[in-house]
Amino acid sequence: MSFSENAITVLKSRYLKKNGLGEVIETPDEMLQRVAKHIAQTEKDFDYWYEKFYEFMASLKFLPNTPTLVNAGNPLGQLSACFVLPVGDSMEEIFEAVKQTAIIHKTGGGTGFSFSRLRPKGEVVQSTKGVASGPVSFMKVFDCATESVKQGGVRRGANMGILRVDHPDIMEFIHCKEKEGEISNFNISVAITDDFLEKLANDEEYDLINPHTKKSVGKLKASLVWDEVATNAWKNGEPGLVFIDRINRLHQIKGVEIEATNPCGEQPLLPYESCNLGSINLSKFVKDGAVEWEDLKETVHTAVRFLDNVIDVNNYPIDQIKNETLKNRKIGLGIMGFADMLVDLNVAYNSQEGINIASKLMDFIQSQSHIASSDLAQKRGCFPAWEESIYKDQNILMRNATTTTIAPTGTISMIADCASGIEPYFTLAYHKQVLDGKKLKYVNERLLDRLQSSGINVEDFLEELIANGGRLKGLNVPKSLEDLNEVFVTSMDMDYTAHIDMQAAFQAYTDNAVSKTINMPNSASVDDVKQAYLYSIKKGLKGLTIYRDGSRNVQVLVSASNKSQSQSIKRGNILKGITEKLKTSRGSLYVTVNTLDGKPIEVFANIGKSGGDISALSEAIGRLISIALQNGVDVEKIVGTLINITGAQPIWNEGRLIKSVPDAIAQVLKDHFLDKKVEKNYEECPECGGVLEEVEGCAVCKNCGYSRCS
C-alpha cells in the first residue's frame, strides 16, 4: 500500500495514535491493521476476515468514517459518525439532551436535533408562571456547550438544528445566523412539509402550530417565508431545506417519525439512532476506460459486512442510542471519487451521459448492498424491527433497515487521494500560500498527466490556469487539448440544474439521503435560489444545501454620519491570509495579512523575543492599519505612508533593506498587494492556506483536513 504525501500529513495530524506528548506512535499500515482486527473480532473465521478487511482498506477501495479509523481498537471505541437526539419540551429533557450532546462530541460524533417540540417564544409556562424563551434561545445553549467541549481540547462536534416550517418561531429561526458568529457550531435547516408546499403553489397562507397545544396560533403567507429562506441562503448558504414529509413517506420503518438529520443532512435518523458510514473509492474501479463491475460488486458485499460488524463491536456512548441502533441496524455505504471515475471514463460531469452513469452506478451499488444485507440476514437474522418494516410486506429478509447513504468524505477522500463524494472538482489548480511568503502549486493529478503527455509548455499553461481561477473554461486551450474543456469541469462551470440533476440521480437509488452542495456563482439572484428549490422538489430530493460563491465574504455600507457614508467591512470568523517572516534590527518580525475577496483588511505584526515597547508599537501599527483598511483607506496610501521610515539600525533581509518595523510591514503589503495583484476566487484554509471548498454541505480543506463542520 502507498499513501500520498498529503494523505500522510492528514493521517499524522488527525488519525494516527499519539502518546502523551502528542508524538505519533503508529504508522498508517498499523492503523489499518488495528481497525481490521477490531471489526473482524465477531467473525468465526477471524483470520480470513481480518485479512479481507485489511486488504480492501489498504487498497484504498473502501474506507470507513473517521470515528471508526480513529477509535477502533482504542479505549474510546465509539465508531459512529451520525447521531440524532430528541429535544423534549421540558427543562429536564432539554438539558439531558445537552449533556448527551457533550458526551457524543467527546467521542467524535456529530449530532442532529429537531427543536420543533419546544413551545414558542413568549408562551406562559403553567408550572412556573414563567415565559418560554423559544427554540432559538435553547439552540444557543447547545451551541455554547459545543464550544466548551471544543475549548476543553477535544475536536469540535458539529450540529444540525432543524425547525418545522409551521412552528410559530420559524421566522426567528430563519434569521438566527444572520449575525456573524451566532450559533456558529450549527448548520440549520427548515423542515418543509407537504402542506406548506401546497399553500405555496396556491399562493396561500398556512397555519402556525403550537407544538405544546397542537393548535393554530396564527398564519403566515407561504410565499413570504419562502422568500426569507431563499434570501438568507443567498446571503450565507443557510438555512438548508429538509423535505421532512417526503423523508417519512420513504422511511423503511412504519409507524415512527423521523424529525431530524445528522449535521450535513444526508442521514435522517429516528430519535436516539446512530449510523456508521463508509465510502467506496470509485477512482479504483476503472480499467481501460470501463467500469470493473465484478470488482465493485465484491467490494460492496465486503463493505456491507464490515459496516454491519461495526454495529456489534461499537462502544455506544448512551444506552438509548445502543438500543435504537441495534433495533434497526442502519448502515450507510456511500461513494467517493466519482469525479475521478468520470474523467477516467472520459465523460463530462455535467452531461446526460454523466447522469446516466450516476444512475446506473448507484442502482448497482444499491441493489448489491441489499443482496449483501439479505444474505447476512439469512445467516445472522433480520434487524429486530423487521416486522414493522416495508421489507416484511415485500417478504425480503434484511439485516439492515438501510444500507446506503451518500455522505461527506472530506478527510477520508484526502487519505484515499480522490475527489470528495459525488462532487465535481472545485478547482483544477491553485497556489497555496505558506509561511515565509512561499507558494506551493497544487494541480489536479489527472489533468497534469494529460498535460505532460501533450507536448505543451506545462508550467506556462498552469500559470494561466491558476490566474483563471483554476478553471479551463475561458482559457485559450491548444487544439490538441480541446477535449479537456469537456471532461475537466469544475463546480462553477455548470448551472444549478446540473448539480441538482446529479444529486437526484444518486438519490433515486439511495436508502437514506445525499450530501451535496448546489454551487452557484456570485452573480446568482435570490430568484435563482428559489428556482433551484422548486427544481429540487420536482427532481425528488430529500434535502438541499445551496452556496453562492463568495456569499460569506461580504462588504456592507454603514452610515458614518448624517453627511457621508464610508465603507466598513464586516469581518467573518474565518479569513484567508499570508504570514511572512522578516529580519529586523529588533529581531524576527512576523507580519500576517488577512484578506477578503483578495484585498487586505487586517494586519498583525508580532516581533519575536524583544518584548517591551517595540512589541507594543508593532502591535499598535498592525491595529491602526487594520482600522484604516476596514474603513476604505487604499492599501497604496498606507504603503506610501510607512515605506522608507528609517530606524536606528537598518538591516538586510534576503536582498531587501529593512529600515524599520513600519518599513518592513509596508514592504510586505507592497510585495503581496501592489506589485503582484493576483485575483483569487476562493477562500483559503485558516490552518494551512489551502483552498476551502464548499462541498457536501460544509467547507473543507483538501490539504490538511480542516473542516468547519468537525
Active site residues: 262, 264, 266
For residue 366, what are the contacts with CB-CB under 8 A and spacing of at least 6? 403, 404, 509, 510, 511
- SS3 of residue 499 by DSSP: helix
Q: Phi, psi (5° rounding) for residue 604? A: -120, 130
d(CA 493, CA 303): 34
Compute the Cα dihedral for 495, 499, 501, 502 and give only its sign: positive
- Residues linked to residue 581 through DSSP beta bridges, in sequence order: 590
What angle (nearest 5°) sits at the alpha carbon of residue 187, between those of residues 184 and 189?
140
Q: Check: CB of residue 440 under 8 Å from CB of residue 432.
A: yes
Return the number of other C-beta atoms located less than 10 Å from residue 356's C-beta: 12
d(CA 299, CA 305): 10
In terms of phi and psi (left: phi > 0; alpha: psi -120 to 50; beta: otherwise), the region of 623 is: alpha
The answer to whether the peptide bond before residue 408 is cis (omega within 30 degrees of 0) is no
Cα first-last separation, the chain: 28
Q: Which of 97, 70, 67, 93 is nearest to 84 (CA)?
A: 97
What angle (nearest 5°) sits at the alpha carbon of residue 548, between those of residues 263 and 630?
100
For residue 677, what are the contacts with CB-CB under 8 A and spacing of at least 6? none
Place of cell 463530462: 348
Return the number of other C-beta atoms located less than 10 Å from residue 460's C-beta: 9
Q: Check: CB of residue 299 under 8 Å from CB of residue 63.
A: no
d(CA 26, CA 30): 6
d(CA 373, CA 400): 6
d(CA 634, CA 599): 10
